[in-house]
Chain A
Amino acid sequence: MTTITINGKDHSFNGIDPAMPLLWALRDHAGIQGVKYGCGVGQCGACTVWLDGFAVRSCQLTVGALEGRVVTTVEGLATATLHPVQQAWIDHDVAQCGYCQAGQIMSAAALLERNPSPTDDEIDAAMAGNLCRCGTYGRIKSAIKAASGAMTASALFYNAMEAEELSA
């Protein structure tokens, strides 16, 4: 048995092959289907999730090796409101078929967590592992910039509030 924290809840995988990729454990045994199968060999990024906060390819991780680890999927990204990256994806009408987009969103959100104001080259580098067969790269880039703006603005606002509170 392997217990993994998925989107904030512990999930125990019982009686399944420990060599099963996390992708299929999530899809077939944990009811988490936002994560998608595209290639199974680490080439497309459709299966991207966060492992302890880092974007990883869930088709390349075996479930048995993840005891106690923390997994976040696109279903767990929103809090009370949508994550700014999700909101930007909707506002910029990024998706065509949409099949790659959960993976794109997880890669983009992971990028912005660490680098809230990435340059074009940094966006290219962070997103190069996520294929979009429909060719939505231009919109993905615009959406990342918009989300970056929103996140930076809210961080500034938050910092300003904090500063005000401290000085009061």
Chain B
Amino acid sequence: MNQPSNSIANTDRRDFLKISLGLALSSTGSISMMSLASAEASGTLNAYVNINADGSVTIYGPNPEVGQGVNTSLPMIVAEELDAKWEDVQCEAAPVQQQYGMQFAGGSLSIPMRWDEMRKMGATAREMLCRAAASQWNVPRDELTTADSMVRHGPSGKSGHYKDLVAAASLISVPDEADVRLKAPADYRLLGKRISNASAEGIATGKPIFGIDAKVDAMVYASFVKCPSIGGVAKSANLEAVRALPGVIDAFILDGTPGPYNFDIRESHAIQSGVAIVGKDTWSTFKAREALKVDWDLSAASQDDSDSIEAEALAALATGRVEAEIERAGDVEAAFANAAMTADSTYSTDFVSHAQLEPQGVLVSAATSAVEVWTSSQTPVFITSNLAKLLDVTPGNITVHQLRGGGGFGRRLSNEYIFEAALISRRVGAPVKLQWKREDDMAFDYFRAPTYYQLQGAVTDDGQLVGWKNLVAAASTDGENANYGASYRPYDFPGKVIPNVVVEQSFVKSQTPTGAWRAPISNVYAFAEQSFIAELAHKAGQDHRAFLLNAIGDKGWIKEGDMASLNTARARATIEAVTKAAGWGRKLPEGHGLGLAFFLSHSGHIAEVAEVSVDGKDITVHDVWVAADVGQVVNLSGLENQLQGSVVDGLSTMAAQRISIKNGAVVQSNYDSYPLLRMPQSPRVHVDVLNSGYRPTGAGEPALPPLAPAVCNAVFDACGERIKALPISKEGFKIV
């Protein structure tokens, strides 16, 4: 019964006006009352729930679906409180409208941000159906129960399907929030179960549900060629020759906006300069690029060289160059002076690309003042305001359709390709399907920033970690502020747990744009921190697990009830569960090693253990165990999928993914020079979900950070080599 969720045709046909009636929630999560008393009878109970005449229930998922499963999990939350029969639920992408609040996918926030709202929407709709039944059957409301899209009255044996009650229910005024009861978790029928992705059948049968599949009549195709050295400006090009090529409709220069290109997803509508080639199909525009010759003005272009950035960063750390303090607690110098043992180590990671499998692309119709966008953006909520400025149209004249994205990982948070397509469409006077080549996607990313951490630890003679220093060398465009993802943010551990802590930083010039990449900062810092703690344990002659548990301690919540905060009991539980599952301390086969890591990011307490074997520089990762506490489980299958996928993604990235920059331009161009992990290299992944019952939090990101340190700790256990730079290919290691 579940339909592919994002079909363009369906979205086009939908009566937008109708669903914009009903109750809307402000972004704070409180319900604003919009009485339906004067509305006509309809199947619509609120902005998220529509009961259809055939008995099916349409539930709108407000946030973009890029593979994290929210267009299944968010509707599940509504369906649970609504008591809708899941087999009859159709999950649809909501239109992009103010009433749906913060429509974006980032920070693993969809579930925690929408948890209260989705429950209230389902429960309120259910209450309205019950009230309709009570008045129709002339029975007390409190004697009614619901299940499987039916209202039942036990004493009289009466029952009615939602489809037969919805018309009356839609005329009832919205109940007071206080009168709407939410279920106790013990009564959940759906949440916590394994539910297949709502679009599973559409995906398996090739339905055109992705951003790249968007089509409208009379659309033309476009490719946009930018200067390889980021920020270079197109002065002139052989446009006449290109226009004469078969299949080419037009070719022209877009001036672009001067750099640097900061990761400003809310306000920016900047695009880089380049040459647009418009054609009658995708291939004509790709092929024409081969004949295109552009004279680039490089005076403002980036001159970055990733080797120099690295050399300068490492020199800054080696000489202890400090330009700013990030965090300080206790008396660090005394802790180090009095320590029984100290150690220091420098860790680094390179630029990384997102490499999501669907390259950026979008369909924009901006020929007239009525603008329409079909996109798999992670930030649809920020498209309208920026397009309005860019095109000088009123926001009310812009319609944005959300389509499924072929992977996000933070890549689709920035919307520059939409602005490119909008300008091209405006110029050619037709709807334009802009398709970036894979090579464009790799060259013009907002990359994961390179990072450099020099860590020092002080341990007492009874093995307690009491002092911690971290000197960060951060890439910076202006020399005063770290570029996105290049630095450090104060984490509860070590900052609020180890008594004496200082984190300082210096800056290294870099103009290469960086942005959010799955679990920003955590994804690199966890590698440094959790590897270094294993180093300290080793040097102190202690079992790593015992040392780590001891370091985390037992303070409980660092900030009571704040899900983003460290709860040492949750941390300990995941470490204990994962080491038990992996058989920590067991005798391993010859050449094998076990490695452990724990990290808290995006409110997810996650511990992982890897089992590897090492043959020379060839590393085989046999098994990875994950224990995860992300609170109340919504969709167990979706959650497990994210945990499993994060392990593979983490391994894929640490293995050999590396973006190098020469003369401001990216060296790698496609998956041959920027390899992703393949099936034969991927480990068995065993996941253990600890349903702690806390408020649910997101799972798209937090399982990635512990993977690299777990694997590197296992490599050390297996062969005594300590990996301190990612990707590991830099030191000649390979995942086989």
- Give the B-binding residues of A (Cβ under 8 A): 16-17, 19-21, 24-25, 27-29, 32-41, 43-44, 46, 73-75, 77-78, 82, 86-87, 89-91, 93-102, 105, 123-125, 127-141
Contacts and interface: CB of A to CB of B under 8 A. Distances in A.
A75 B576 CA distance: 47
Contacts of A128: 678-680
Nearest to A96: B67
Interface string B645-683: 111110010000000000000000011100011111010
B375 to A, nearest CB: 15
Given A86-B204, A90-B200, A128-B680, A98 B212 contact: no
Nearest to A83: B204
B352 to A, nearest CB: 13
A131 B671 contact: yes
Contact of A82 (B204, B405, B642): B204
A91 to B, nearest CB: 7
Given A138-B682, A138-B684, A99 B200 contact: no
B300 to A, nearest CB: 30
A89 B200 CA distance: 8
Contacts of B281: 16, 20, 24, 28-29
Interface stretch (B313-321, B356-364, B536-544): B356-364
Contacts of B69: 96
A99 B358 contact: yes
B457 interface: no
Given A24-B281, A97-B407, A127-B679, A33 B670 contact: no
- Greatest chain A CB density within 10 A among B221, B438, B646, B679 is at B679
B68 interface: yes
Given A40-B437, A41-B670, A141-B679, 7 more contacts: A39-B438, A43-B670, A44-B357, A78-B205, A86-B205, A101-B203, A138-B684
A135 B682 CA distance: 9
Contact of A28 (B283, B357, B649): B283
A2 to B, nearest CB: 14
B680 A125 contact: yes
Nearest to B673: A43
A19 B245 CA distance: 14
B206 A75 contact: yes
Nearest to A27: B282
A27 to B, nearest CB: 7
Q: Interface range on chain B: under 10, 10 to 19, 20 to 34, or 35 or more?
A: 35 or more
B641 interface: yes
21 contacts: A17-B284, A28-B281, A36-B210, A36-B358, A37-B359, A40-B286, A40-B437, A44-B357, A74-B204, A86-B205, A89-B200, A95-B199, A95-B204, A97-B405, A97-B406, A98-B67, A100-B357, A131-B671, A132-B357, A133-B676, A137-B648
Contacts of A98: 67, 197, 199, 203, 210, 404, 406
B399 interface: no
Given A24-B282, A28-B283, A97 B66 contact: yes
A34 B206 contact: yes
- Greatest chain B CB density within 10 A among A90, A91, A125, A139 is at A90
A74 B205 contact: yes
Contacts, number: 202
Can you list the 3 inter-chain pairs with the closest CB atoms, starting with the nearest? Answer: A34-B206, A135-B648, A97-B67
Contacts of B672: 41, 43
Given A16-B281, A28-B281, A138-B685, A75 B676 contact: no
B201 interface: yes
Interface in B627-651: 637-638, 641-642, 644-649
A132 B282 CA distance: 24
A99 B197 CA distance: 14
Contacts of B652: 133, 135
A119 to B, nearest CB: 13
Interface of B: 66-69, 194-197, 199-201, 203-208, 210, 212-213, 221, 246-247, 281-284, 286-287, 355-359, 404-409, 435, 437-438, 637-638, 641-642, 644-649, 652, 670-672, 676-680, 682, 684-685
A97 to B, nearest CB: 3
Given A82-B205, A101-B204, A132-B357, A140 B644 contact: no
Contact of A74 (B206, B246, B644): B206
A16 B284 CA distance: 9
A139 to B, nearest CB: 7
A128 B370 CA distance: 46
Contacts of B405: 97
A18 to B, nearest CB: 11
A17 B247 contact: yes
A35 B205 CA distance: 10
A136 B652 CA distance: 12
B33 to A, nearest CB: 38
Contact of A135 (B213, B677, B684): B677
- Greatest chain B CB density within 10 A among A32, A93, A135 is at A135
Contacts of A21: 283
B680 A134 contact: no
- Greatest chain B CB density within 10 A among A21, A41, A133 is at A133
B204 A131 contact: no
B206 A96 contact: no
Given A28-B281, A74-B205, A135-B677, A91 B644 contact: no
A93 B358 CA distance: 20
- Greatest chain A CB density within 10 A among B197, B246, B437, B685 is at B197
A80 B200 CA distance: 18
Contacts of B195: 93
Given A34-B205, A141-B679, A133 B649 contact: yes
Contacts of A39: 438, 670-671
A135 B647 contact: yes
B287 A17 contact: yes
Nearest to A127: B679
A134 B210 CA distance: 15
Given A17-B283, A134-B645, A105 B407 contact: no
Contacts of A96: 67-69, 197, 407, 641-642, 645
A36 B196 contact: no
B67 A33 contact: no
A37 B283 CA distance: 12
Contact of A124 (B68, B208, B680): B680
A127 B682 CA distance: 12
Contacts of B642: 96
Contacts of A20: 281, 283
Contacts of B678: 128-129, 131, 137
A127 to B, nearest CB: 5
Contacts of A135: 644-649, 652, 677, 682
A28 B284 CA distance: 11
A120 to B, nearest CB: 10
Contact of A102 (B194, B206, B247, B645): B206
A37 B212 contact: yes
Contacts of B287: 17, 19
Contacts of B66: 97
B200 A95 contact: yes
A77 B204 CA distance: 10
Contact of A133 (B199, B221, B355): B355
A52 to B, nearest CB: 20
A65 to B, nearest CB: 15
B671 A41 contact: yes
A133 B650 CA distance: 11
A99 B210 contact: yes
A45 to B, nearest CB: 10
B283 A93 contact: no
A36 B207 CA distance: 11
A136 B641 contact: yes
Nearest to B358: A99
B523 to A, nearest CB: 14
